[in-house]
Structure 1
Amino acid sequence: MSKFGTIVMGPAGAGKTTFCSALINHLRINKRSCFYVNLDPAAEDFTYEPDLDIKDLISVEDVMEEMNLGPNGGLICCFEFLLQNLEFLTEKLDNITEEYLIIFDMPGQIELYTHIPIIPQLVSHFRTSLNINLCATYLLESTFVLDRAKFFAGTLSAMSAMIMLELPHVNVMSKMDLVKGKMSKRELRRFTEPDASLLDDDPADVLNDTKAPSGNSTDPDPLARDAFMGGTSFKRLNHAVANMIDDFSMVSFLQLDVQKEDSVGAILSYIDDTIQYHEAQEPKEPNDEIDYDYGDTDMG
């Protein structure tokens, strides 16, 4: 029997746990079952207490103290330990039925999804040993659109995770309330399907050009602090990244405002379609006998 789940991931500060809370709330309102798994061994505050918490097995604080590691090294060590003790997950997840949506709340260290094989091994266990139909919900903070170079760097990270994990992805621009009033809706829609043309009319280029010294060169002084993020080489690099993303045509974004129930519901709808959740549900039998009260109305 198949199970269904989504792995919520993305950079630190993207709003993963907030989204998980909003998703759980939406599911409860609509009387759907969910199982919340926290896989961030450094997380502390939750709106909804996890049904399964990696900190019951191991925590970053303990690893850092016992092994004299930093936060990132401690996190990687925690996941290595988890992979050696997968029965911790299997015992709880094995009996989950197909009516549940399993929500995996992941840490924000991006290296876990881009160039270290730990999470791919974990995903493989979920899919093969536990028979979970999975998709990844990748969150990128919407404020990245205000700096187009930063936005394409975030988009490249999303694409790297897609290639590394080999999972269907639902990519989401989170915290849309933070850019409200800073950019028109029409302009924001351009970022849902990223392409290199976004760099051709980057407002930051105008600002950088005003700093160029007089003479034949259009570049700022290469020794100036501003030149590191504003010279021609930096622009060429950004265009190369943007063109590569455009060539792959893998990444598109949905917009999310967790304060709006319809917005959360729309993301859930995409998740359900991606993991084919509704196709596996048993059809509901209608009530055999329903009493209709027609009062004194003559139906003859």
Structure 2
Amino acid sequence: MPATFGQVVIGPPGSGKSTYCNGLQQFYNAIGRQCCIINLDPANDRLPYSTLNSLDIRDYLTIEEIMEEKKLGPNGGLIYCFESMEESLEIFYLKIQDILKENENTYLIFDCPGQVELFTSNGTLFKIFQKLSKKFDLRLCVVNLVDSIYITSPSKYISIVLLSLRSMLMMDLPQINVISKIDMLSSYGNKEDLLPFRLDYYTEVQQLDYMQPLIEIESENTGYPYTAKKLSKLTQHLSEIIEDFNLVSFEVLCIDDKNSMVSLQTLIDKANGYIFGVSEIGGDTIWSELTRQGIMNELNMIDIQERWIDNKEEYDLAEEKKRLEAIKERELLEKEVNIQENDVHGNEEDEWKQVMKDWENATGKVATRD
């Protein structure tokens, strides 16, 4: 059996994990890549994606049952669920095996819960994926989503960077950190006052000491000056730790923007190794051709500050115009194909009539089409 590729989608609650999985499924269907979403959140009973071709952990255990039976809270119940799952993975193995039997090139997407302790302090989730990787030769990439609203606050930004670093160290897999809902960023305030630095400052995660004066001001505004000094000092030390590791950076994502999705999926395919010769086997020849033509490099040349903050409206209008032109072009192409098919059928009918007429002249009999 060839190697199996996939993504592990993690992130705090409300970061758009299930929405991302739904958009990713539609994106892969469009480029011809067979995929399957595996919901690992026993508390998520409202999935935006179709469960017809997916695997749902709630078919076997739910957080409500665990909480009632073991007298646990939501977080304790989730940890118990995954600890129980780790001890009895045989059923999970069989279900994934059935998926891969139908198509051994199926791309797996794991939709994980939003409780951050599962991928920052509790090692159960990591152990599960470690066992799955050995069993099915899984080549996974962790996609860590964080809501764009967190970068509007200096202290929250440091928090999500630290959280991302912790998950990278805990999961021990290739990881791409993503600022999701980037299209919503402009709605959180005026362009001039929204962010004190350019957007690429937040994605590159460099020179965090620039944040220190802003964090001090933010801390002083809490009304507790003694606590504010301690918080400012703590943030300074955390920033130094983050910079010492020098591991964290972010991509940006708007799930409804095609270019944004294409750019992100290219990076993910490089991170888990899918891009290296497997795309033809997977059947997504459209994606292979785009990669070969270097279109991804052109997308990376777009300035994210200009695209999502400075000139967002102009870019949105241009993208909408391109979309409408593509729809019109596709409709004209379909119309042309239908005309050609009708012409072919018409020519065949004329040829058949001529053959019957020639036969009648030669035999003196009346031809019928029985």
| Shorter-chain TM-score range | 0.7 to 0.9
Aligned match of 2:235 in 238, 242, 246?
238
Partners of 2:106 and 2:196 in 1: CA distance: 35
Q: Deviations over 1:137-176 (max 9, x none)?
A: 0011111111111111111111111111110101000111
Q: Which is higher, the Rg of structure 1 or of structure 2?
A: 2
Partner of 2:69: 66
- State the 1:207 CA deviation: 5.9
Aligned match of 1:82 in 85, 90, 101?
85
Determine if the alignment matches structure 1 residue 119 to structure 2 residue 138: no
**Relative to structure 1, is the Cα distance of residues 271 and 207 closer, same or farther in structure 2, using a 3 angstrom cutoff?**
closer
Partner of 2:15: 14
1:42 and 1:59 in contact (8 A); partners too: yes
Partner of 2:209: 197
Partner of 1:214: none
Which is helix-richer, 1 or 2? Answer: 2
1:98 and 1:281 in contact (8 A); partners too: no
Q: 1:274 is matched by which residue type in structure 2? A: A
Question: What's the secondary structure of 1:278's corresponding residue?
Answer: coil
Q: Deviations over 1:33-83 (max 9, x none)?
A: 111100000001122123101111111011111111110111111111211
Q: Which is worse superposed, 68-77 or 42-51?
A: 42-51
2:179 and 2:252 in contact (8 A); partners too: yes
- State the 1:92 CA deviation: 2.3
Question: What's the secondary structure of 2:91's corresponding residue?
Answer: helix
Aligned match of 2:254 in 242, 252, 257?
257
Partners of 1:83 and 1:146 in 2: CA distance: 38
Q: 1:261 is matched by which residue type in structure 2? A: K
Partners of 1:197 and 1:111 in 2: CA distance: 27
Question: What's the secondary structure of 1:191's corresponding residue?
Answer: helix
Partner of 1:26: 27
Question: What's the secondary structure of 1:46's corresponding residue?
Answer: coil
Partner of 2:179: 173
Question: What's the secondary structure of 1:80's corresponding residue?
Answer: helix
- State the 1:123 CA deviation: 1.4
Structure 2 unpaired stretches of 5+: 286-339, 341-370
Q: CA RMSD in A?
A: 2.4
Q: 1:158 is matched by which residue type in structure 2? A: S
Partners of 2:146 and 2:218 in 1: CA distance: 25
Partners of 1:81 and 1:271 in 2: CA distance: 30
- State the 1:226 CA deviation: 3.9
Partners of 1:283 and 1:264 in 2: CA distance: 20
Partner of 1:108: 114
**Structure-1-length-normalised TM-score:** 0.84
Q: 1:66 is matched by which residue type in structure 2? A: E
Aligned match of 1:140 in 141, 146, 151?
146
2:82 and 2:124 in contact (8 A); partners too: yes
Partners of 1:34 and 1:185 in 2: CA distance: 40
Q: Deviations over 1:188-221 (max 9, x none)?
A: 110001131341452x544666x6xxxxxxxxxx
**Relative to structure 1, is the Cα distance of residues 83 and 206 closer, same or farther in structure 2, using a 3 angstrom cutoff?**
closer
Structure 1 unpaired stretches of 5+: 212-223, 287-292, 294-300
Partners of 1:98 and 1:201 in 2: CA distance: 54
- State the 1:259 CA deviation: 2.0
Partner of 1:188: 199
**Relative to structure 1, is the Cα distance of residues 232 and 122 closer, same or farther in structure 2, using a 3 angstrom cutoff?**
same
Q: 1:191 is matched by which residue type in structure 2? A: Y
Partners of 2:122 and 2:149 in 1: CA distance: 27
Q: Which is worse superposed, 169-178 or 274-283?
A: 274-283
2:14 and 2:147 in contact (8 A); partners too: yes
Question: What's the secondary structure of 2:44's corresponding residue?
Answer: coil
**Structure-2-length-normalised TM-score:** 0.68
**Relative to structure 1, is the Cα distance of residues 277 and 185 closer, same or farther in structure 2, using a 3 angstrom cutoff?**
farther
Paired residues, number: 272
Question: What's the secondary structure of 1:41's corresponding residue?
Answer: coil
Q: Deviations over 1:215-273 (max 9, x none)?
A: xxxxxxxxx844376x2221111111111111101000000111212212221111111
